[in-house]
A and B are shown apart, each in its own frame.
Chain A
Amino acid sequence: MRALRSKKEVSSMEKGSILKVENLKVYFNTYQGIVKAVDGVNFEMGKGEIFGLVGETGCGKSTTALAIMRLIPWPGKIVDGRILLKEEDLLKKSDEEIRIIRGRRISMIFQEPTKSLNPVFTVGDQIAEAIVANQNVERNEAVKSARKIMGDVGLADPERIAKQYPHELSGGMAQRVMIAMAFSSIPDLLIADEPTTALDVTIQAQILELMEDLAKKFSTSVLLITHNLGVVAETCDRVAVMYAGEIVETANVETIFEEPAHPYAKSLISAIPQFGTTKRKILQTIPGSVPSLINPPSGCRFHPRCGFAMEICRKKEPNSITLNHFHTVFCHLYGAKNR
Chain B
Amino acid sequence: MRAILHINKKVKTWKIEHESQLKELRFILQLIRRNPLSLGGISVLFLLITMAIFAPIITPYPEDVIETHPAERFLPPTWEHLMGTDDLGRDIFSRIAFGSQVSLRVAALVLLFSASIGVILGGIAGFIGGTVDEVIMRITDMFLSFPSLLLAMAIAASLGPSLTNAMIAISVTWWPWYARLVRGQILSLREQPFILAAKALGLSRKRIIFRHLLPNCLGVVLIAISMDAGYVILTAAGLGFIGLGAQPPTPEWGLMISTGRTYMPRYWWCATFPGIAIMITVLAFNLIGDALRDITDPRLRR
Contact with A along B15-32 (1 / 0, CB 8 A): 011011001000000000
A165 to B16 Cα, complex, angstroms? 15
B204 close to A69 (CB less than 8 A): no
A99 to B211 Cα, complex, angstroms? 17
**Which of chain A's residues have a CB closer than 8 A to the CB of B17?**
163
A69 to B203 Cα, complex, angstroms? 13
Decide if A134 is an interface residue (CB 8 Å cutoff): yes
Given pairs A102-B200, A112-B193, A121-B211, 8 additional interface contacts (CB within 8 A) = A71-B196, A100-B202, A108-B197, A111-B193, A115-B192, A133-B202, A133-B203, A165-B20
A99 close to B204 (CB less than 8 A): yes
A71 to B301 Cα, complex, angstroms? 32
**From A116, A134, A160, A167, contact of B202 by CB (8 A):** A134
**Which of chain A's residues have a CB closer than 8 A to the CB of B200?**
69, 71, 102-103, 107-108, 110
**From A110, A120, A121, A134, contact of B193 by CB (8 A):** A110
Chain A residues bordering chain B, tally (CB within 8 A):
33
B194 close to A133 (CB less than 8 A): no
Q: What interface size band does chain B fall in?
A: 20 to 34
Decide if A233 is an interface residue (CB 8 Å cutoff): no
Decide if A29 is an interface residue (CB 8 Å cutoff): no
Question: Given A115-B192, A120-B215, A129-B211, are A110 and B202 also a contact pair (CB < 8 Å)?
Answer: no
Decide if B201 is an interface residue (CB 8 Å cutoff): yes
* 30 A/B residue pairs, CB under 8 Å, sorted by A: A69-B200, A71-B196, A71-B199, A71-B200, A99-B202, A100-B202, A102-B201, A103-B200, A115-B193, A116-B197, A117-B194, A117-B197, A118-B215, A118-B216, A120-B216, A121-B211, A121-B215, A122-B20, A129-B203, A130-B201, A133-B201, A133-B202, A134-B201, A134-B202, A160-B16, A163-B20, A165-B20, A167-B301, A168-B20, A178-B197
Contact with A along B41-60 (1 / 0, CB 8 A): 00000000000000000000
Decide if A228 is an interface residue (CB 8 Å cutoff): no
Which residues of A69-104 have CB atoms within 8 Å of chain B's CB atoms?
69, 71, 99-104
Closest chain B residue to A102, Cβ basis: B202
Decide if B261 is an interface residue (CB 8 Å cutoff): no
Which residues of B174-215 have CB atoms within 8 Å of chain A's CB atoms?
192-194, 196-204, 207, 211-212, 215
A115 close to B194 (CB less than 8 A): yes
**Which of chain B's residues have a CB closer than 8 A to the CB of A300?**
none
Instruction: Return B292 CB to nearest CB of chain A, in Å.
Output: 15
Decide if A299 is an interface residue (CB 8 Å cutoff): no
**Which of chain B's residues have a CB closer than 8 A to the CB of A160?**
16, 19
**Which of chain A's residues have a CB closer than 8 A to the CB of B203?**
103, 129, 133
B20 close to A103 (CB less than 8 A): no
Decide if B6 is an interface residue (CB 8 Å cutoff): no
**From B23, B204, B212, B218, contact of A133 by CB (8 A):** B204
Instruction: Return A180 CB to nearest CB of chain B, in Å.
Output: 12
A130 to B194 Cα, complex, angstroms? 13
